[in-house]
């Protein structure tokens, strides 16, 4: 059963959304993108004549009640966005009465799921090294089933619409689906869009296929890189990874970030790229700094900024962005692409001194998109880049799920999708 085929009239639907929105110190929402992303799904349920029971996590309360992470802070904003009455249940596992009282055309927002450790299904207060851990884990998995059963009992059908948590087998993202038959569980509209976008990139490939992988460490991206090497025509590796590759060839990288235990991995990536006929594109120069404040995203007073070759950075200088030659190289590699995937910035884009690399990548992607390419942008920092440079409307699709997207690209089955589709 697909979401659009389902008639929600007279039905209560429990919907897993991702309302883990950023809040300021006053509990006010600073970015409502995730709420807006869920609106088409929620509004369809209401418009059909159904009622929506909305569940989400917020932050990492680690199985304990913490007012800082209360979803009650966003109830009014959800009500305003949805355009119908939204009640609030202060305990997600004791919301039977509130769910029963819910009228068609209305919504109920449950308190943070992660106030209960059963949501994540991980034992609390016990180390993995403890001999009793395995037994505690087994007991927690049984408790997780009961927690999921409780949530399921509130509703007639289940909608999974939180792509950002689809890579986790949590009570609300996967286990709950076991308590609904195939005709009464489905992916929401946002999830369907996300799954289709990933499929367009990995299964329905139009060539040339160019992937851009940024970020600081090779180790966090190696699984994705290896999977992409069997699919792409060109792979651009930028950001902090540049310096591990430079060091692997004996380059001087100054104070730049490096994974000395991954030099052999870098060389292996180069070897596999060559064997697979993939053009591996690395930066050749870097914008460097003698003193960067990573906490405040700025150059410290009195410190210098200068361009060096990426394999000849002087001692005390830290590579923080792609240099002018690298930018041209990246842009040329993206030109003419028909499928594009971008995850991770080319530098410390939060600071204006080091935005040029990421901006050059983003603008090249936008240009290729205008010429007919399908471009998928995923990962918080890449999305933030698009927002900062005004490119959100100039790419094909921006994914809401960082970790989920990366695992999908890596070729892993997402539990939140498998629970629905089998």
- Catalytically active residues are 34, 217, 380, 403
What is the three-class DSSP state of 209?
strand
- Residues 383, 375: contact at Cβ < 8 Å? no
Q: Is cis: bond before 208, omega within 30 of 0?
A: yes
How long is the chain?
422
DSSP string, 241-292: HHHHHHHHTT-EETT----GGGHHHHHHHHHHHHHTT-EEEE-SEEEEES-E
CB-based burial label for 127 (10 Å; 0-12, 13-18, 19+): exposed
User: What's the rounded Cα separation, in Å, for the pair 60 and 184?
Assistant: 30
User: What pairs with residue 341 in β-bridges?
Assistant: 211, 376
Run of H or E residues at 385 = helix 380-388
Q: Which helix (H) or strand (E) is 15 found in, with range?
A: strand 12-16
Q: Is 215 helix (H, G, I), strand (E, B) or coil?
A: coil
CA atoms within 13 A on the CB side of 282: 21
Closest of 37, 33, 118 to residue 15, by C-alpha? 37
- Strand order of the β-sheet with 318-322 is 305-309, 285-289, 318-322
CA 421 to CA 21: how far, in whole Å?
Answer: 28
Rounded CA-CA distance 216/349 in Å is 12
CB-count burial class (<10 Å; 0-12, 13-18, 19+) for 126: middle
Residue 2's contacts (CB-CB under 8 Å, 6 or more residues apart) are 186, 187, 192
- Rounded CA-CA distance 298/281 in Å is 28
Do the beta carbons of residue 117 and residue 124 sit within 8 Å? yes
């Amino acid at each position: 059963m697909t979401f659009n085929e389902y008639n929600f009239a007279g039905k209560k639907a429990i919907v897993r959304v991702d309302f883990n929105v950023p809040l300021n110190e006053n509990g006010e929402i600073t970015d409502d993108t995730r709420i807006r992303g869920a609106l088409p799904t929620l509004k369809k349920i209401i418009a059909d004549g159904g009622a929506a029971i909305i569940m989400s996590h917020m932050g990492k309360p680690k199985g304990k009640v913490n007012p800082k992470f209360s979803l009650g802070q966003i109830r009014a904003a959800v009500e305003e966005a949805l355009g119908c009455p939204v009640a609030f249940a202060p305990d997600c596992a004791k919301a039977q009465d509130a769910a029963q009282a819910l009228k068609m055309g209305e919504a109920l927002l449950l308190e943070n799921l992660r106030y209960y450790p059963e949501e994540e299904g991980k034992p609390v207060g016990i180390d993995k090294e403890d001999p009793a851990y395995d037994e505690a884990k087994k007991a927690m998995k049984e408790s997780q089933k009961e927690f999921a059963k409780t949530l399921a009992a509130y509703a007639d059908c289940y909608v999974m619409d939180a792509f950002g948590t689809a890579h986790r087998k949590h009570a609300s993202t996967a286990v709950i689906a076991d308590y609904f038959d195939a005709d009464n569980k489905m992916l929401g509209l946002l999830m369907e869009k996300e799954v289709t976008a990933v499929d367009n990139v990995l299964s329905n490939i139009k060539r040339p296929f160019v992937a851009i992988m940024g970020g600081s460490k090779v180790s966090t991206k190696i699984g994705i890189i290896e999977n992409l090497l069997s699919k792409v025509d060109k792979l651009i590796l930028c950001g902090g990874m540049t310096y591990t590759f430079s060091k692997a060839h004996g380059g001087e990288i100054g104070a730049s970030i490096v994974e000395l235990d991954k030099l052999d991995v870098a060389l292996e990536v180069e070897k596999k790229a060559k064997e697979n006929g993939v053009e591996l594109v690395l930066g050749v120069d870097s914008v460097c700094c003698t003193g960067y404040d990573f906490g405040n995203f700025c150059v410290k007073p009195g410190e210098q900024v200068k361009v060096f070759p990426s394999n000849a950075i002087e001692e005390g200088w830290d590579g923080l962005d792609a240099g002018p030659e690298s930018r041209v190289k990246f842009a040329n590699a993206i030109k003419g692409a028909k499928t594009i995937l971008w995850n991770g910035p080319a530098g410390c884009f939060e600071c204006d001194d080091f935005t040029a690399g990421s901006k050059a990548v983003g603008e090249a992607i936008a240009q290729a998109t205008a010429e007919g390419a399908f471009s998928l942008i995923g990962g918080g920092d890449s999305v933030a880049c698009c927002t900062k440079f005004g490119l959100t409307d100039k790419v094909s699709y921006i994914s809401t799920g960082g970790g989920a997207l990366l695992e999908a690209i890596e070729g892993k089955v997402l539990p939140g999708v498998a629970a629905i589709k089998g």
